[in-house]
Copies of this chain bind each other. A is one copy, B any other.
C-alpha cells in the first residue's frame, strides 16, 4: 500500500498570539508549548513508516525558516512550495493534490495545519488509519475532535449515525452561539472541525471539477509553471494571482456528498489565543492556583494567570492578578483579561496603524544565511549582532551612506573587501569603508558571530547594492 503524503499548511501569519507571534515569524514557527515549534511537532507527528516525505505549502517570507526547522529535526521534505500570494486553503490544497497525482493519482494526501497541538500521536495515528480505509474508497475524510466544553470559537461537524470508524458527514456548522454550543454538547453527535483532511489525490481533483471547476486550470498552470529556486518550488505567479481567495470548506467540502468523519477523542487545540496557551500549559503541568509562569516571570498572589517572558532580559512580575494574561518579549508586552484573548488581533491592528515596528517584526531578523538583530540604533550609528550559519554567505554588496566596523567574537569569517579576501577570527576586526564592495562568509563548521558597528548619516536596510547573492533573493525578499 502506498504511503500517505502529508501536506503541511504553513503560510499563515496569525496575530492572536502577538507579541510572541508576528507576521515576520508567526506562531507555527515558535516554541509555544515545549521545546519544538508547532510546525516541527506537526511535521514529526506526520512522519515515520506510514508517511512519505511531506509537502509544505508556505510563502516566500517563510521558506528559509521552514527549511531550517525541518533540517533541525532531521525530516527531509518532498517539496517546500511557495505560494506567490496567499489565496486561502482551497488553491493550496488543490496544488498539493495535483503535485501528488503526477506520481500516483490514488496516493493518499493528509492535509493539516501546522499550528495545532495534538500531543497524543498514537491516538492520532489510529484515527488516521481509520480514515485511510475510507479515503481509499473515494471518500474525503475530515477529522472531528470530540468536544469537551461548549466552545464557541470553533466550527462543528454533525455526524450521520453512530459507530466506530469513518461515519458519513451530515453537515458543517458555523461557529455557534453559546446556547447552541451547549445544546450540541448535550445532544452528542457533533465534533469540532479541526481542519484536517485525508483523501486520495484524484478524489480531491474530482471534487474541484464538480464544485469549483474555475480553480483547476489556473492552479494546474501554476504547478506546471513552477520553478525550482534553490530547492524551493515557486508556483507561477501569473496564473495564481487571479485566483479566488476561498477556504477548502466553502469552495468544495460543503458542496461535496462523499465526506466522511473520523472522531478523534484525544487532546487537541488550535492554540487560537493566549487563553488556549494557558489551558494547554496548565493541562500539561498544573500550576498552583493556575498561575502559569516561566523562568523569567514571577506570580505573587495570582489566580489563573499566564505570565510569560520570551527573553532572559525581561522580567515579568504580576501581583494580585486574576484571570489575566501578561505576555512579554524583549520589545513589547501585552496585558489583558483571559476572556479578551480574541481581541489581541485588534491591538495588533491598532499598533500597525500607529506605525509601530512591533506590530509585524521582531528585533531578530531571520535570513537564509542566519540572523541579525539591532543592539543599538542612534542618529548616526547602529550596532548589530550578526550570526552566520556554517557554510553560509551574505550577498556581495556595497553601501552608499555608511561604513562598517566588524569584530568577530565567535568562529571565523571570510571577508571580502574590494579585491582583498581575509580570514578574520575571534577577537579580530576589519573595517569596510563607505562604498567598498564587500561580503561576509562563514567558511567554518561552527556559527560565526560578529558585531557590526555602522556609522553614517543614513542607516536603513535599503541602502544596499547587491552584486551577487547565493540565495537568489529578489527585491523585498
In addition to A300-B343, A314-B331, A426-B455, 6 A-B residue pairs with Cβ atoms within 8 Å of each other are A314-B333, A317-B333, A317-B334, A319-B335, A376-B385, A381-B410
Query: Contact between B333 and A319 (Cβ–Cβ < 8 Å)?
Result: no
Q: Which chain B residues lie closer than 8 Å to A335 at the CB level?
A: 316-319, 321, 324, 326, 335
A selection of 28 A-B contacts at a CB cut-off of 8 Å is A298-B347, A298-B350, A298-B354, A301-B343, A313-B330, A315-B351, A317-B334, A317-B335, A317-B350, A318-B336, A319-B335, A319-B343, A320-B336, A320-B340, A320-B343, A321-B336, A326-B335, A375-B375, A375-B376, A378-B410, A378-B449, A380-B410, A381-B410, A403-B427, A409-B455, A429-B431, A451-B451, A451-B453
Assess whether B409 is in contact with A378, with CB atoms less than 8 Å apart: yes
Most buried by B among A335, A343, A449: A335
Interface residues in A360-395 (C-beta closer than 8 Å to B)? 375-376, 378, 380-381, 383, 385
* Chain A interface extent, by class: 35 or more
Q: Binary interface profile of A, 293-335, with partner B (CB < 8 Å = 1, else 0)?
A: 0000010110000000000011111111100101010111111
Can you list the 4 inter-chain pairs with the closest CB atoms, starting with the nearest? A381-B409, A319-B336, A375-B375, A320-B340
How far is B307's CA from A332's CA once the two chains are assembled, in angstroms?
12
> Which residues of A approach B to under 8 Å, CB–CB?
19, 298, 300-301, 313-321, 324, 326, 328, 330-337, 340, 343-344, 346-347, 350-351, 354, 356, 358, 375-376, 378, 380-381, 383, 385, 403, 405, 407, 409-410, 426-427, 429, 431, 449, 451, 453, 455
In the bound complex, do residue B331 and residue A315 qualify as a contact, i.e. CB atoms below 8 Å apart?
Answer: yes
Complex contact A300–B375 (CB within 8 A): no
- With beta carbons under 8 angstroms apart, the residue of B316, B326, B383 that contacts A385 is B383
One complex includes copies of this chain to the number of 2
Q: Which residues of B contact A427 (CB under 8 A)?
A: 403, 405, 455
Residues of B with C-beta under 8 A to A356: 315
Question: Considering the chains assembled together, what is the distance between the CA atoms of A429 and B407 in angstroms?
Answer: 11
How many Å lie between the Cα of A376 and that of B407 in the bound state? 13
Whether the Cβ atoms of B300 and A346 lie closer than 8 Å is yes
Residues of B within 8 A of A375 (CB): 375-376, 383
* Nearest B-chain residue to A341, judged by Cβ: B319
Which of A318, A351, A356, A383 is most buried by chain B, counting CB atoms within 10 A of its CB? A383
A356 CB to closest chain B CB, in angstroms? Answer: 6
Give the residues in chain B near A426, CB-CB below 8 Å: 380, 455
Shortest distance between the CB of A330 and any CB in chain B (Å): 8
In the complex, A331→B314 CA distance in Å? Answer: 4
Distance of A92 from chain B, by nearest CB (Å): 32
In this complex, the member of A351, A381, A427 whose beta carbon has the largest number of chain B beta carbons within 10 angstroms is A427
Q: In the docked arrangement, what's the CA distance between A356 and B347, Å?
A: 31
Name A300's closest neighbour in chain B (CB-CB): B347
A278–chain B nearest beta-carbon distance, Å = 15
Interfacial chain B residues near A333, Cβ < 8 Å: 314-317, 326, 328, 333
**Which residues does chain B contribute within 8 Å of A328, judged by CB atoms?**
328, 333
- Interface pair B410/A451, CB less than 8 Å apart: no
Taking the closest CB of chain B, its distance from the CB of A299, in whole angstroms, is 10
Question: A320 to B300, Cβ gap below 8 A?
Answer: no
Known contacts A378-B449, A451-B383, A319 near B340 by CB under 8 Å? yes
Please measure, in the bound complex, the distance between the C-alpha atom of A37 and the C-alpha atom of B448, giving whole angstroms: 44
Q: CA–CA, A316 to B351, complex, Å?
A: 10
Given contacts A407-B405, A429-B431, A451-B383, contact A351 B313 (CB under 8 A): no
Q: In chain B, what residue has the closest Cβ to A430? A: B429
Whether B429 contacts A317 by the Cβ 8 Å rule is no
Nearest-Cβ distance from residue A365 to partner chain B, whole angstroms: 15
Verify A319–B347 contact, CB threshold 8 A: yes
Q: Say yes or no: B403 contacts A300, CB within 8 Å.
A: no
How far, in angstroms, from A298 to B324 measured CA to CA in the complex?
A: 17
Contacts of A410 in B (CB 8 A): 378, 380-381
Complex CA gap A151/B145 in Å reads 55
> Is B409 a contact of A429 with CB atoms below 8 Å?
no
Q: A320-B337, A320-B343, A383-B385 are in contact. Are A358 and B315 (CB under 8 A)?
A: yes
State the Cβ distance, A473 to closest chain B Cβ, in Å: 26
A319 pairs with B300, CB closer than 8 A: no
